[in-house]
Amino acid sequence: MIHVPVTVLSHAAGLPLPAYQTEGSSGMDLLAAVQEPMLVAQGKIVLVPTGLRLAIPSGYEAQVRPRSGLALRHGIAVLNSPGTIDADYRGELQIILANLGQEGFTIERGMRIAQLVLARVERLQWQPVEDLGQTSRGAGGFGHTGSSHTPSPSTS
């Protein structure tokens, strides 16, 4: 278990801290710390405060992910999913939500709006090389592995 220091800002006073909803949950539900209901019109994007500031340990990131029920039933998406909260960020955790649904959606105080997952992060160091070696995929791009035909070699 990783301990993450958290500060609750005044506009989140009285709201519970994020929590796992079941024993097997990967993410903790984040709550909206809005003072009054916030309407998210169809096709609009909003920034929803959580009233939390976190101190993510070095070597980790917190990922903000959508809630499947909000996505399925209302078309509410975390726009930059998964959003990353870096270990050195100390500002308020705010969630970028988009309404991709067919009608407006109202966010109420304390509503579960997204999930937070803690993930280990490895740092990389580039190693320039002349040749990366061959794979069966090669340079095949988007949709390449779902293709049922083999592309013809190009002739120039």
Q: Cα 125 from chain centroid?
A: 25
47 part of a folded domain? yes
What is the extent of the structural domain holding 57?
A: 6-120
pLDDT band at 56 (very low <50, low <70, confident <90, very high): very high
Instruction: Name the domain count of the chain.
Output: 1
The CATH number linked to 89 is 2.70.40.10
pLDDT, one tens digit per residue, over 86-95 is: 999 999 999 9
pLDDT confidence of residue 24: 95
pTM score, whole prediction:
0.84
39 within 8 A of 85, measured Cβ to Cβ: no
